[in-house]
Amino acid sequence: MRKIVDLPQPEGPTSASRLAAADVEGQRPHGGGPVAVRLLHTVQTDHRIGGSVCAVPFRGALAGADSLVSGLGHAQTVTQGCLIRNDWICGEYLRTRKTEILDSLGQHALITLVSVVLAILVSVPLAVLCRTWKPLEQFVLGASTIIYTVPSLALFSLLLPFTGLSARTVVVGLVLYSLTILVRAVVAGLNAVPEQVVDAARGMGFGAWRLLWRVRFPLALPSIMAGLRVAAVSTVALTTVGAVVGYGGLGDLIYNGLRTVFKAQVLTASVLCVLLALALDVLLLGVQRLATPWRRGRSA
């Protein structure tokens, strides 16, 4: 079946207002399915015949398009499949977000280190005063215990009017939490020094300060280091709560990952928190063994 079709005219007159029958589409019935269209010739802009083009049937064209899309999708799945599927374990996430992960890890480690060091600087003199004056010991231990019972989220919120939305809020809160553990550990270690050793040191002419730093503290070091290890690991865990003020280190990644259901980010940040805590604990254990050589000989 062949017919003449009037094409829309451009603005202004043209050299031919109507195409010849041979230059127009040919229609061919195809049962009850789609109609296959065959263009007999191509017509250039000057209406000269430039060649012949055969169009494929619609069904074949659609099948080819589906095959092409399927191939592209397969290639994309191979290269970035874990991110598209939102897998828990995704190497592509580690490669593409390496800088963000390292920055968060560095911030987490820095906040932990600063908090633990400040807690040591505060807890050691406080523990010495507590041992010297017993009423102060009861007050300090009771106050620090009450602070430790306050949820971290509530404590950070209470500190906001004084420290603002900054890393100081997280550091101050972590120092307060660490005081409960460290003050108790230092006081317990100093009280555990045998009185016979203290009397012998006094008989050798040791004064109060020399007795404290040369006898009491070295012998109390195992108890102090045990408390320090617990405080350091707890600080690594509590630092993640600092995400509420934007300074949570790896906690920021965990919080954002939970909010957006980004599985790879949540798992990666959580695993790094665990590894950081383990690495810090092993490091402090090594320091303890180096600082107490007499205990190594006893255990051997």
Would you list the DSSP string of 97-147?
THHHHHHHHHHHHHHHHHHHHHHHHHHHHHHHHHHHSHHHHHHHHHHHHHH
Degrees to nearest 5, angle at CA 39 with 38 and 42? 160
Query: pLDDT for 56-77, tens place per residue?
Result: 444 444 444 444 444 444 444 4
Residue 79 in domain? no
Residue 54 in domain? no
pLDDT value at residue 290: 87
**CA 224 to CA 244: how far, in whole Å?**
31
Greatest CA separation found in the chain? 126
Beta bridge partners of 2: 26
Residue 73 in domain? no
Residue 23 in domain? no
Residue 275 in domain? yes
* Residue pLDDT tens, the chain, 300 long: 444 445 455 444 444 444 444 444 444 444 444 444 444 444 444 444 444 444 444 444 444 444 444 444 444 444 448 878 888 888 888 888 889 999 999 999 999 999 999 999 999 999 888 888 878 888 888 888 888 888 888 888 888 888 888 889 999 999 999 998 999 999 888 888 888 888 888 888 777 788 888 888 888 888 899 999 999 999 999 999 888 888 888 999 999 999 988 889 999 999 999 999 999 999 999 988 888 777 665 554
Q: How many domains does the chain have?
A: 1
Residues 6+ apart with CB under 8 A from 10: none
Residue 63 in domain? no
Residues 6+ apart with CB under 8 A from 277: 232, 233, 236, 237
pLDDT value at residue 297: 56
Residue with tokens 């620090």: 144
Domain CATH number, residue 136: 1.10.3720.10
Residue 30 in domain? no
pLDDT value at residue 296: 64
Q: Can you give the residue range of the structural domain that contains 264?
A: 91-299
Query: pLDDT for 123-154, tens place per residue?
Result: 999 988 888 887 888 888 888 888 888 888 88
Query: What pTM, to 2 d.p., does this model score?
Result: 0.68
pLDDT value at residue 270: 93
Residue 31 in domain? no
